[in-house]
């Protein structure tokens, strides 16, 4: 029977992410990766704007205020993120499946981890100043609900978040 590692990401995984994830198990381990991508059709405008401002991205903050996210565009973006992530992980030699989740991303992660008896949960995000500072990021939320450590990687960097 194979072990599973459940990965929740908001960004398309890149080779650096794939390397960090496949380093979690040995070449002789029978591991299946499951990638979950949030369609993120609900957003917190205040948090999104503050995140942009903390990155000194004034145009991004203004864009957050002006644009209304189209749910279909968000679903398409999530599907693209999933396909790209699966492609990168397969290229790294991983056995991987995945799906897009539309509602609570953390609840989906927790359900998959507990349902599969997964050996590891991994969250890959870009830095989020407000959520990370106040420990409201996906990794911290999942860790509280699971009662297990959750690895939080910052997309494309190899840096580990504080969860």
- 3-59 tens-digit pLDDT: 999 999 989 999 999 999 999 999 889 999 999 999 874 555 555 666 666 666 767
H or E element, residue 63: helix 58-66
- 66-104 tens-digit pLDDT: 776 677 888 999 999 999 999 999 999 999 999 999 888
- 116-129 tens-digit pLDDT: 989 899 988 876 65
Report helix, strand or coil for 90.
Answer: helix
**pLDDT for residue 163 is more than 50:** no
- Contacting residues for 47 by C-beta, under 8 A, at least 6 apart: 128, 130, 131
Ordered by start, the domain boundaries in the chain are 39-98, 116-163
Residue 34 and residue 120: Cα distance in Å, rounded? 11
**Are 162 and 134 within 8 A, CB to CB?**
no
């Amino acid at each position: 029977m194979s072990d599973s590692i459940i990965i929740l990401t908001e960004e398309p995984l890149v080779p650096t992410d794939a390397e960090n994830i496949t380093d979690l198990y040995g070449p002789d381990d029978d591991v299946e990766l499951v990638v979950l991508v949030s369609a993120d059709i609900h957003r917190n405008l205040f948090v999104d704007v503050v995140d942009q401002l903390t990155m000194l991205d004034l145009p991004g903050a203004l864009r957050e205020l002006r644009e209304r996210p189209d749910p279909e565009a968000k679903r398409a973006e999530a599907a693209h993120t999933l396909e790209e992530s699966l492609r990168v992980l397969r290229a790294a030699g991983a056995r991987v499946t995945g799906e897009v989740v539309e509602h609570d991303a953390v609840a989906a992660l927790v359900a998959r981890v507990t349902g599969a008896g997964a050996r590891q949960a991994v969250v890959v995000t870009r830095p989020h100043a407000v959520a990370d500072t106040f420990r409201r990021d996906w990794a911290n939320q999942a860790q509280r609900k699971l009662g297990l450590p959750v690895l939080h990687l910052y997309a494309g960097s190899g840096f580990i978040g504080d969860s």
